[in-house]
């Protein structure tokens, strides 16, 4: 495991004259969970699109080892496919139908939606849809999981609940994960390493490693401390008098 799954060297990106990312260098280790936080519109999603290979950076290099799958903020499921059919998308390489079916069942069990295999996405709640999308991304032989604010379209309690679900699911099916979020608490609870981006053009402002083993609770002392640290960094940023809350 000498080659990291994701390696970014001095990556910069811009849309026209608008510079979005500047000189980002980052190495994500095998099985590591990295969270990237930053103010909205700072280029977090751009970064994910580069990591997934959907966009190419204007300069610098991105090396990706293995297959990546993205979980989107919302509406990433194909609405014309049932839950089981959506999950099966991730199992396209498995020729044997029985094996595919078995794996879909396993994944439905993992996200605790066994009875919803024939439902369509529009018949599910937002939280259920996100769980299905996660199962689809985990299906098959994907190596890297890219999470694009996967909880941000949900209400507060569902968000907390789903966060814990993700921690549990990743404990059962470990992956290399990059999570992009504006929720610092979420980042601190889930990730091994939190990277704080500054305003556009985004650069890495701060990096914090959380040593406690995952999964952890939302009020674990190390999580609380990490949140405090990150907020302190961001508060220094807002010396001009702007108020920075827990959710930047």
Partner 1 sequence: MKKSGIIQSFALPFAVVVCLLLFWTMIWRSGVFHESAFPSPVAVLRAFRDEIVSGRLFTDLITSMFRVTCGFALAVASGIPVGLWLGQGMLARKAFLPIVNFFRNLSPLAWIPFAILWFGVGDASPIFLIFLSAFFPMVLATMSAAASVPNIYSRVAKDFGMGKFEKLTHVTLPAIMPQIITALRVTAGVCWLVVVAAEMIAGRDGLGFAVMDSRNGLRTDILVVEMIIIGMVGVGIDRVLEQLTKISSVRWGYER
> Which residues contribute to the site for partner 1 (CB under 8 A)?
49, 52-54, 68-70, 72, 75-76, 78-81, 89-90, 92, 120-122, 137
Nearer to partner 1, 89 or 244 (CB): 89
For partner 1, give the closer residue by CB, 81 or 231. 81
Question: Considering beta carbons, is residue 180 or 194 the nearer one to partner 1?
Answer: 180
Residue closer to partner 1 by CB (options 92, 112) is 92
| Closest separation in Å from C-beta 161 to partner 1 | 24
DSSP the chain: --S-SEEEEEEEEEETTEEEEEEEEEEE-TT-EEEEE--TTSSHHHHHHHHHTSS--SEEEEEE-S-EEEE-SS--S-TTS-HHHHHHGGGTT---HHHHHHHHHHHHHHTT-GGGTT--GGGS-HHHHHHHHHHHHHSTT--EEEEESTTTTS-HHHHHHHHHHHHHHHHHS--EEEEEESBHHHHHHH-SEEEEE-SSSB-EEEEEE--SPSS--TT-HHHHHHHHHHHHHHHHHTTTS----SB-
Q: Which is nearer to partner 1, 137 or 227 (CB)?
A: 137
> What is the smallest separation between the CB atom of 70 and partner 1, expressed in angstroms?
6
Name the minimum Å distance from CB 214 to partner 1. 24
Q: Please identify, using beta-carbon distances, which residue of 89 and 204 lies nearer to partner 1.
A: 89
What is the smallest separation between the CB atom of 125 and partner 1, expressed in angstroms?
A: 14
Q: How far is CA 127 from CA 71, 136, 139, in A?
A: 13, 14, 18
| Cβ–Cβ under 8 Å, residues 184 and 35 | no
Closest CA to 152 of 229, 47, 45: 45
Compare residues 15 and 78 and give the one whose CB is closer to partner 1.
78
| Minimum distance of partner 1 from residue 162's CB (angstroms) | 19
- CB of residue 42 to partner 1, shortest distance in Å: 20
CB of 86 to partner 1, least distance (A): 9
């Amino acid at each position: 495991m000498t080659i990291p799954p994701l390696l970014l060297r001095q990556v910069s990106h811009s849309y026209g004259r608008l510079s979005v990312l500047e000189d980002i260098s980052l190495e994500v280790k095998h099985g590591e969970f990295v969270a990237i936080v930053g103010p909205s519109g700072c280029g977090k999603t751009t970064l994910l699109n580069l990591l997934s290979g959907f966009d190419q950076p204007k300069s610098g290099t991105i090396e990706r080892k293995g297959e990546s799958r993205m979980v989107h903020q919302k509406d990433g499921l194909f609405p014309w496919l049932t839950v089981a059919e959506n999950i099966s998308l991730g199992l396209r390489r498995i020729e044997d139908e029985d094996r595919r079916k078995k794996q879909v069942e396993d994944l439905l069990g993992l996200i605790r939606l066994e009875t919803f295999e024939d439902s369509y996405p529009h018949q599910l709640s937002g939280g259920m849809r996100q769980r299905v999308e996660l199962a689809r991304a985990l299906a098959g032989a994907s190596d890297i999981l890219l999470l694009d604010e996967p909880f941000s379209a949900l209400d507060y309690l569902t968000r907390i609940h789903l966060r814990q679900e993700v921690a549990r699911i990743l404990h059962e099916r470990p992956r290399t994960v990059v999570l992009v979020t504006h929720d610092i608490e979420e980042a601190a609870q889930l990730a091994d390493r939190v990277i704080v981006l500054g305003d556009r053009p985004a650069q890495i402002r701060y990096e914090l490693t959380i040593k406690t083993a995952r999964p952890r609770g939302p009020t674990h002392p190390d999580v609380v401390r990490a949140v405090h640290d990150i907020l302190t960094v961001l508060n220094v940023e807002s010396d001009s008098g702007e108020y920075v809350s827990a959710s930047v």
